[in-house]
Amino acid sequence: MLNCLRSPGKMAVSRLPFFLALAFSSLSFVLSHWNREMWFQDFFPPNMCPINAKDNTFYGIMFDAGSTGTRIHIYTFVQKSPENLPELEGEIFESVKPGLSAYADQPEKGAETVKRLLDMAIDAVPPHLWKKTPVVLKATAGLRLLSEEKAQSLLLEVREVFEESPFLVPEDSVSIMDGSYEGILAWITVNFLTGQLSGQNQHTVGTLDLGGASTQITFLPRFEETLKETPGDFLTSFEMFNSTYKLYTHSYLGFGLKAARLAILGALNVEAVDGQMFRSSCLPKQLEAEWHFGGVKYQYGGNKEGETGFKPCYLEVLKVVKGKLHQPDEIRGSSFYAFSYYYDRAVDTNLIDYEKGGVLEVRDFERKAEEVCDNMEKYNSSSPFLCMDLVYITALLKEGFGFRDNTLLQHSWTHEVVCAALHCSEVIFNIYSKSLQCAQCRSCSC
């Protein structure tokens, strides 16, 4: 079974960033002390959540530098008693587009977008707590796609912005998160918050995340045969709750939804020049337009003289995914949660309700892809890539990972709760760890 995540609340977050740059032993401590029920109580409206500035209130500032945008989360925690970990009291959220990677050749301008968001924190956090409030930025696949030199130039500029701010800047405050960590931390959080890791009979679920530049798959193998047939670098072991877990996890850089568009167009790793048109049968025949991704402008359009529609599009997409991903046999009968663009495109095409969610099968994506691709003119103006995106998701699940047509996608749980929990658990741990180092220190670090 495959479950796609959505929240009953309306926090303004559309993807699942995972920013727990902690050793697993640290994360284990946080999770073992976490009150799981608190995440379901009084969840937050868009952009602003209630914040109470009290003497026992602490703050943490987390930046999510994704491939399509940069987001700031300003968290407020309350320490209700010395023996317990702080609880989440509120959050302020805002975002800007494009992402930092769009400023690969202008790192100063990229850092300026971070500074504009950081100014919100200056207004939100009481001045007497500025020096005790940490600020951290974690970048994901967008920066991993850049050269080391360009990525580091961006990070250095952001670090300088942080250093010039009145906030606490931890040693490793600006960094790129490894893709596998994203998958592992998603798995831990989803299974903990859904209660899959409690009790004697643990029935864990796998996780699938489809971002803009990369995609992750993570699950706990049940069969020894899976472990034997899996490449060694796809397996990670760690201890948690007095148990040892050996996860199958891998991040495929370049297989996110936006990066896949480039690959399908034949524009991935190609230097775009003015006047060069990238065409695809996955696009409306008469379409010609511009699209910006990763700081590069691409001109794209449909096949004016050739075929368009689902069948020729699927053949194009197959060249991108078939034989490129490892296919563990075990996943065909496993349960999975899916988020980010899996959820977004299901909502965009009315496969599920934004608020209520719903239950889908993998073939529902295929049926919707056929409907959209064979009637592309109907969707041209508002969403020219919709056919391509749906076909890619279908092919990724079926031909890439090897899921069956009848694998279920149940939209029954929360996308943003998981997102917030991931951010906040790291903040909570750092609050706790710093309080151990100095009893008077009331700061936290993401």
- Any idea which residues carry the catalytic annotation? 182
State the sign of the Cα–Cα–Cα–Cα dihedral 360, 407, 15, 5: positive
Beta carbons of 312 and 281 less than 8 angstroms apart:
yes
29: number of Cβ within 10 Å: 18
Rg (CA), the chain: 22
**Hunting for tokens 């100063």 — which residue is that?**
108
Q: Residue 318: CB partners within 8 Å, gap ≥ 6? A: 395, 399
* H/E run at residue 310: helix 310-321
Is residue 338 classed as helix, strand or coil in its secondary structure?
Answer: strand
Which helix (H) or strand (E) element contains residue 137?
A: strand 135-139
Closest Cα partner for 380 from 297, 302, 299? 302
Q: Which residues of 390-417 are buried (b: 16+ CB within 10 A; e: fewer)?
A: bbbbbbbbbbbbbbeeebebbbebbbbb
d(CA 157, CA 148): 14
SS3 325: coil
